[in-house]
């Protein structure tokens, strides 16, 4: 039995782990410092499954190959794991001749990488394909295969599938060191003690360079490139069907306007290079949000007013100094594997990175065989409000909690919330967090951002499970929801 430790429960680490659980003879453990999966880069991005025609086939041969392969794997993964997804295609919208000229090269890239259907379209066809495009635009590049998924739902689904197949998650556990003996990795030191290992995979996102240094590898560094977003209410009328974006610049793929799988208009991101140490600066700024709004207004016929925003947020891209994905199996120290610098299109590429990395590992080990009892399927939490009455009533009969809608913005029942808690426990979260419930059920995720349902959810968790509201956190660590009981401050007790 080989023990494989994967550092990082983001989309990269989880995808690697999912592939590895297919084999007999391997024990798979995923470690993350956060109390739940996907809370790093995976949590805040544009959520596009790229067609991959924007990757330079010569400059980034591995990245373009993994991008396309990952794209194709997602069709299967979203079905097997019941991940919300859609495939509307995308249009790069050109607003002037120079931008239009700049689009030609992607047809060449597409051809060489093998991306189907990419072509230039004129203004007329573009506006027919997507009436929400700004009529001032002059033409565009259409890529029919582009899709979008809910990345957090994806991370959660994969995590559940890993555990279902015997893998293990150690959440709320920070890796502090990697132990190398006789030129081989032998263990990792964590905030919760040491764990022996035969293989250690570094999929630590923004912190991958630090992890590599723990294993004595010091040939690259990572700096954060921030991307800010504005997310609008699912009730605004601006709902482009296609994925739209401005013509790319050398730094980013441009500003996107998409209708997410949850039905919200999302615009963004910015591309702001931050200093190396600013790896937690996922904060929004007025300049950043104004910039996005301005850019999006170039490609959309109309934008909803700013006060229809339900949420603003920012993500940090882990930009490697090498400019490209760093994926390698080290001979020195033997057993140390990297999937580092997984910047965009990392979400798209993830299933393929998983496959590729697992292959690098498997081919070096002995007596590893595919399992016959591997389970490819995972079921999503049922959503009664969106079911046909007959199906819904069957569910409610078994469990009346499914018949009480607690979150009115997203129509989420108490049954879904309780099921989410059960599943969080099953994958081994060290504590139940409000964000964990949010990402699994989409309660607290709509127009009111939980101001209506959150206190009731906290109360029901207290009554049903004994978790007091001053013990529950929003996102772990010091992010407590409340401090103490009413009257406690008057008694001089300052609470937790």
Give contact residues for ligand FAD (rule: CB under 6 A).
7-13, 31-34, 39-42, 45-48, 50, 174-175, 203-207, 227, 269, 315-317, 342-348, 408
344: which 2 tokens?
A: 């965009």
Alpha carbon distance, N-terminus to C-terminus of the chain: 44
- 302 touches another protein (CB under 8 A): no
- Residues belonging to the active site: 50
- Interhelix angle 454-465/414-427, rounded to 10 degrees, is 60
Q: Which of 24, 332, 422, 489 binds another protein (CB under 8 A)?
A: 489
Nearer to ligand FAD, 100 or 261 (CB): 261
Q: Select 17 or 453, whichever has its Cβ closest to another protein.
A: 453
Q: How far is 315 from 34, CA to CA, in rounded Å?
A: 16
Comparison of 372 and 386: residue with beta carbon closer to another protein:
386
Q: Which of 366, 370, 372, 494 binds another protein (CB under 8 A)?
A: 494
Residues touching another protein, count (CB under 8 A): 65
In which region does residue 82 sit, left (phi positive, over 0), alpha (psi from -120 to 50) or beta (all else)?
left
Residue 205: which of ligand FAD, another protein, none does it interact with, CB under 5 to 8 A by kind? ligand FAD
- For residue 487, the partner it binds in ligand FAD, another protein, none, with Cβ less than 5 to 8 A by kind, is another protein
What 3-state class would DSSP assign to 90? strand
Contact between 479 and another protein per CB under 8 A? yes
Q: Which of 4, 47, 173, 473 binds another protein (CB under 8 A)?
A: 473
For residue 247, give every residue at least 6 positions away whose Cβ sits within 8 Å of its Cβ, in sequence order, or none.
Answer: 92, 93, 94, 95, 99, 102, 103, 254
CA 256 centroid distance within chain = 17
Distance CA 344, CA 325 (A): 9
45 binds, options ligand FAD, another protein, none, Cβ within 5 to 8 A by partner type: ligand FAD
d(CA 393, CA 12): 38
- Is 253 a binder of another protein (CB under 8 A)? no
Residue 355 binds what, of another protein, ligand FAD, none (CB under 5 to 8 Å, by partner type)?
A: none
Here the tokens at position 440 are 């699994």
Question: Using CB under 8 A, which of the segments 67-75, 191-199, 332-340, 456-464 binds another protein?
Answer: 456-464
Residue 365 CB neighbours (<10 A): 15
- Contact (CB, 8 A) for 266 and 243: no
Q: Which residues contact 484 (CB under 8 A, 6 or more apart)?
A: 470, 493, 494, 495, 496
Q: Interface with another protein includes 263 (CB under 8 A)?
A: no
Q: Which stretch binds another protein (CB under 8 A): 88-96, 259-267, 345-353, 395-403?
A: 395-403
150 interacts with, out of another protein, ligand FAD, none, CB within 5 to 8 A per kind: none
Least Å distance between CB 268 and another protein? Answer: 13
Q: Which does 447 bind (CB under 5 to 8 A by kind): another protein, ligand FAD, none?
A: another protein
Q: For residue 96, how many other CB atoms are within 10 A of its CB?
A: 13
187 binds, among ligand FAD, another protein, none (CB under 5 to 8 A by kind): none
- Residues in contact with another protein, shown as a per-residue x/- string from 38 to 67 under the rule CB under 8 A: ------------------------------
* Phi and psi based region of residue 61 (left: phi greater than 0; alpha: psi -120 to 50; beta: remaining): alpha
- According to the binding rule CB under 8 A, does residue 480 interact with another protein? yes
Residue 303 and residue 230 in contact, taking contact as beta carbons nearer than 8 Å: no
Residue 267 CA, distance from chain mean position: 17
Task: Give the binding site for another protein (CB under 8 A).
Answer: 235, 282-286, 289, 306-313, 384-385, 389, 392-393, 396-397, 400-401, 403-405, 408, 411, 413, 434, 447-452, 454-456, 458-459, 462, 469-470, 473-490, 494-495
């Amino acid at each position: 039995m080989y023990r494989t430790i994967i550092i990082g429960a983001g989309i990269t680490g989880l995808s690697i782990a999912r592939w590895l659980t297919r084999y007999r003879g391997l024990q798979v453990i995923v470690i993350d410092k956060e109390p739940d999966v996907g809370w790093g880069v995976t949590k805040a991005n544009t959520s596009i499954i790229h067609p991959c025609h924007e990757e330079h086939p010569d400059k980034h041969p591995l990245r373009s190959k993994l991008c396309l392969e990952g794209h194709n794997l997602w069709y299967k993964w979203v079905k097997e794991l019941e991940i919300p997804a859609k495939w509307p295609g995308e249009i790069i919208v050109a607003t002037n001749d120079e931008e239009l000229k700049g689009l030609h090269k992607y047809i060449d890239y597409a051809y060489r990488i093998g991306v189907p259907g990419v072509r230039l379209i004129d203004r007329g066809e573009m506006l027919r394909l997507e009436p929400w495009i700004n009529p001032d635009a002059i033409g565009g590049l259409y890529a029919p295969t582009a899709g979008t998924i809910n990345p957090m739902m994806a991370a959660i689904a994969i995590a559940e599938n890993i555990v279902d197949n015997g893998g293990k998650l150690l959440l709320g556990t920070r890796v502090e060191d990697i132990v190398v003996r006789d030129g081989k990795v032998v263990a990792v030191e964590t905030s919760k003690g040491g764990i022996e290992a035969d293989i250690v995979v570094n999929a630590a996102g923004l912190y991958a360079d630090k992890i590599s240094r723990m294993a004595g590898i010091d040939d690259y560094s990572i700096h954060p490139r921030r991307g800010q977003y504005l997310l609008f209410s699912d009730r605004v009328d601006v709902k482009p069907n296609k994925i739209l974006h401005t013509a790319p610049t050398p730094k980013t793929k441009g500003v996107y306007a998409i209708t997410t799988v949850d039905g919200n208009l999302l615009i963004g991101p910015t591309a702001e290079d931050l200093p190396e140490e600013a790896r937690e600066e996922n904060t929004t700024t007025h300049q950043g949000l104004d910039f996005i709004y301005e850019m999006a207004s170039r490609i959309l016929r109309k934008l909803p007013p700013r006060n229809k925003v339900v949420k603003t947020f920012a993500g940090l891209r882990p930009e490697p100094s090498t400019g490209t994905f760093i994926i390698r199996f080290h001979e020195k120290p033997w057993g140390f594997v990297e999937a580092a610098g997984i910047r965009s299109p990392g979400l798209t590429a993830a299933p393929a990175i998983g496959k590729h990395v697992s292959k690098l590992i498997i081919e070096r080990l002995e007596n590893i065989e595919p399992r016959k009892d591997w389970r490819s399927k995972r079921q999503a939490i049922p959503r009664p409000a969106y079911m046909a009455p007959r199906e819904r009533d069957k569910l409610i009969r078994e469990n009346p909690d499914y018949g009480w809608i607690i979150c009115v913005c997203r129509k989420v029942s108490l049954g879904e919330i309780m099921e989410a808690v059960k599943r969080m426990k099953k994958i081994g979260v060290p504590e139940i967090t409000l964000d964990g419930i949010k990402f699994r059920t989409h309660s607290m995720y709509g127009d009111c951002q939980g101001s209506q349902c959150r206190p009731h959810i906290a109360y029901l968790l207290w009554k049903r499970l004994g978790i007091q509201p001053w013990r529950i956190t929003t996102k772990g660590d010091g992010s407590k929801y409340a401090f103490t009981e009413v009257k406690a401050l008057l008694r001089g007790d300052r609470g937790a």
